[in-house]
A and B are shown apart, each in its own frame.
Chain A
């Protein structure tokens, strides 16, 4: 299989990689870069557990080939905040009990960030729309919506 050189900026750090032509961005993140915060739930772009921000847009990283991303900027959950300095969304997810099993959490956080980056003061309907690509089986979504609302309020 053909191998391709790719330069990727992930969470502000530049990586020069040689990848297989069929390698998914999800696998590059998880296996090559060890960024396992991004999860795989379905592999077909339905569950959104693998959501990352690619050049400012929310994408399912299981549906993107790394070779397509040459020169791109990728944001994953690992780049959102640190234990010492949490992103307001991370803090709100903790404060509003928006986390249960936590498997959808990274995808939810990235979807919420992509939304707030573009629309800092979303309505509840806009929040729901913005998170609608990510499935959660534990929470019924309510406390997640509450958390995003709170984080949006704080950022504004």
Chain B
């Protein structure tokens, strides 16, 4: 391989370091207006009336719209379309929009918001998932009785028999918090009406242009071909710029269509935190049985996820949880129930990890606690029960179509981190500052799995002069997709990456290839690019057969040339091959389409081949805890990840460093403070994400076991990187302090006192103290 599996400079870096790349908020159009949103002051209320007359007559205001003005349907959603672009009768959380304004400046638009008069009738609200499920609780959506947004079941064997056969049973409860994506770029979009015919073009920080287009079609009442969504440069997404962007783009489009002028909308950070969806907080009850030798016999799991006001992707997020909830361990008898429950809290949806960080925190903490009860080294318990080649998962899937590398990643992380020696060294410590080391591991299904249809496309188009376009249905969100896809196209065509130009994702230029989610881009999109580029290469080879007097099988290519294997002096340059093909009237563009291998799922019992391949990872964290303040400093994280094949080792490392940083935030710092539906931490002064001073040394270990389905064997790296950092840190803190914290994040209070005082503070304040 000439280009793949080698570091390559990012193809999008130049414009970014020059400050020339245009993000959503940077875009300017002639005659552009600015849109702003009026949101509800109540988390659950009926809208009695909206009076926009005064706002509409304010000089500089060009349009004021409410749900009554939505041209199509006022709701959208991937699974259950119950999210409101503008609230019609009822508001269900404090991010719900009631009216939108377009004006000549953001200041005028904001002033107009103050002049809109809305009468509400407050409704009983519910903020706790358990209370929301109870009889008599207010029901948010008629089609979701008991506020159940999703319920997934998994049954393997007979769980009670498994417990009966165990020597030891452990029951533990864990809790994870509400967290924010905290991409540094707040949401932004510009909608531009098409002159002369019905149509709208939308630019912006849109993670999934095709999902956005589909939502717009429903809300605007436009055909898909009347809507063009073009991704601007993305200032981070991590799963977070999907539904919230569909809503923003729809609002901007409605205002643009009403006024006939381009309309820009940009969220402030406060609006972003108020309206944007977050990661589901989970409450997890685990019961595990084992023999006294440490063999797992049974696991019973009950999980409640707070879905918040709308369904969004809760059914998919919780589905990944049900598949992976037992962790990478063989358990003969399993019963799992995962519920996603509606409340009047901020809604929750996709966030890097997608239902895995929560369960991995619980299941890895549980393994540690079980090991302690058994008097075993936690690593040994994992070696005893961890997946090996041919293991059968909780869903009944036999892992035999890929290399099951759990033991390999464990061994590598343990060795590089000097885990065993340090674990012993830190076992007995005195004094104020104490160290600890802990590990966590995971398995993760790649791409969408049985969640839905999984296929995607790419187009490779070779120009007369030897330059190349790549179009992809999947999108660059900052992760490095453009570079990876350019490398793959270059590899297949035998040319340098510099010849390849990756085009912004544009719904009018390429077929719908599904969303850029589930760490599926390299695996799925990479295959599509590879197929497309290989088709063009076959055309080029075919065109030069006569000239080289050889059959296609006798040819080889690379370094901008095609030659005869047995006689490299018989060769043509890439340009010459293009000239031959053009003179023969051949098409030098091709669409590549890749359909994922078959997966199966029985929804009633939670059994099936949930994903067509999996990745394995292990992270070891070393910490120092100040036992007088609870302050935890991470000293080092060692992260071993099997990626199948690293298309670009430098961007893989970048993913690992960045994922671990988000994992450290999840472990120690991050918690969206929400009380009775109101988000209290509305900016980075109160919502703390890791800064450069919070970051320890990170050692990234890339493990490569090429996968038969992946392009060049490549699989997945984006999401696994953050999903096991928090339990590794929690394990290290438990060793340092001698006390396990079962709630995230491990902030000062939880580490020092074992619990958070935040909710007490709200109660005190309400009590008037």
Chain A residues within 8 Å of B, Cβ to Cβ? 30, 34-44, 46-47, 49, 76-78, 80-83, 86, 90, 93-95, 97, 99-106, 109, 128-129, 131-132, 134-145
B21 at the interface (CB under 8 A from A): yes
Known: A132-B692, A139-B654. 17 other contacts (CB 8 A): A37-B18, A42-B269, A93-B17, A94-B17, A100-B236, A101-B185, A101-B237, A102-B15, A103-B183, A103-B235, A103-B478, A105-B16, A109-B17, A128-B693, A136-B184, A138-B236, A143-B653
| Docked-complex contact A143 and B17, CB < 8 angstroms | no
Complex CA distance for A94 and B8, rounded to whole angstroms: 10
| Cβ of B165 under 8 Å from chain A | no
A-B contact pairs, 5 of them (CB 8 A): A37-B20, A42-B683, A102-B12, A137-B238, A142-B698
- State whether the Cβ of B59 lies closer than 8 Å to any Cβ in chain A: no
- The answer to whether B17 touches A99, judged by C-beta atoms less than 8 angstroms apart, is yes
Pairwise interchain contact B657-A102, C-beta atoms closer than 8 A: no
A81 CA / B661 CA spacing, docked (Å): 30
Any A CB within 8 A of the CB of B172: no
Does B23 have its Cβ within 8 Å of any Cβ on chain A?
A: yes
Residues of A within 8 A of B9 (CB): 94-95, 97
Asked whether any CB of chain A lies closer than 8 Å to the CB of B650, the reply is yes
Chain B nearest Cβ from A31, distance in angstroms? 9
Report if B689 contacts A (CB, 8 A).
Answer: yes
For the complex, give the distance between the alpha carbons of A103 and B232 in Å.
12
A95 to B12, CA, bound (A): 12
Q: B377 in the interface, Cβ–Cβ < 8 Å?
A: no
In the complex the two chains form, what is the Cα distance from A43 to B20 in whole Å? 21
B651 within 8 A of A: yes
Is B13 part of the binding interface, using a Cβ–Cβ cutoff of 8 Å? yes
A137 to B236, Cβ gap below 8 A? yes
Whether A97 pairs with B17 at a CB distance below 8 angstroms is no
Q: How far is the CA of A36 from the CA of B184 in the complex (A)?
A: 15
Is the beta-carbon distance between B183 and A76 smaller than 8 angstroms?
Answer: no
Residues of A within 8 A of B656 (CB): 140
CB pair A40–B695 under 8 Å, yes or no, is no
B477 interface residue, CB < 8 Å from A? yes
- A80 to chain B: which residues have CB within 8 Å? 18-19
Q: Are B658 and A106 in contact (CB under 8 A)?
A: no
Residue tally, chain B, CB below 8 Å to A: 56
Report Cα–Cα, A131/B182, bound state, in Å: 19
Chain A residue, CB-CB nearest to B183: A137
Q: How far is the CB of A49 from chain B (nearest CB, A)?
A: 6
Q: How close is A100's CB to chain B, nearest CB, in angstroms?
A: 5
CA distance A140 to B70 in the complex (A): 42
The A interface, classified by DSSP as helix, strand, loop or mixed, is loop
Are the C-beta atoms of A94 and B10 separated by less than 8 Å?
A: yes
The reply on B480 being an interface residue by CB < 8 A is yes
Contact of A97 among B10, B182, B234, B237 (CB under 8 A): B10
Q: Do residues B17 and A100 form an inter-chain contact, with CB atoms below 8 A?
A: no
Is B26 in the interface zone, CB < 8 Å from A? yes
A138: nearest residue on chain B (CB-CB)? Answer: B658
A36 to B232, CA, bound (A): 14
Query: Cα distance A106–B654 when bound, in Å?
Result: 18
Give A42 Cβ to nearest chain B Cβ, in Å: 4
Q: Are the CB atoms of B691 and A101 closer together than 8 Å?
A: no
| Cα A1 to Cα B164 with chains together (Å) | 78
Residue in B22, B477, B657 whose CB lies within 8 Å of A141 = B657
- A90 engages B18 (CB within 8 Å): yes
- What is the CA–CA distance of A83 and B21 in the complex, to the nearest angstrom? 12
B10 CB contacts on chain A under 8 angstroms: 94, 97, 99
Q: List A contacts of B13 (CB < 8 A).
A: 93-94, 99, 102
What is the bound-complex CA distance between A131 and B238, given in angstroms? 23
In this complex, the member of B656, B659, B695 whose beta carbon has the largest number of chain A beta carbons within 10 angstroms is B695
Is B702 interfacial (CB-CB < 8 Å)?
no
B644 at the interface (CB under 8 A from A): no
- Chain A's closest residue to B663 (CB) is A140
Q: Which 5 residue pairs of A and B lie closest in terms of their CB atoms, listed nearest first? A: A37-B19, A101-B478, A103-B235, A102-B16, A140-B657
B18 touches A83 (CB 8 A): yes
Give CA–CA (A23, B1) in the complex, Å: 55
C-alpha gap A46/B9 in the complex (Å): 30
- Point out the residues of chain A lying under 8 angstroms from B698, CB to CB: 140, 142
Contact B684 A46 (CB under 8 A): yes
Q: Are B479 and A145 in contact (CB under 8 A)?
A: no
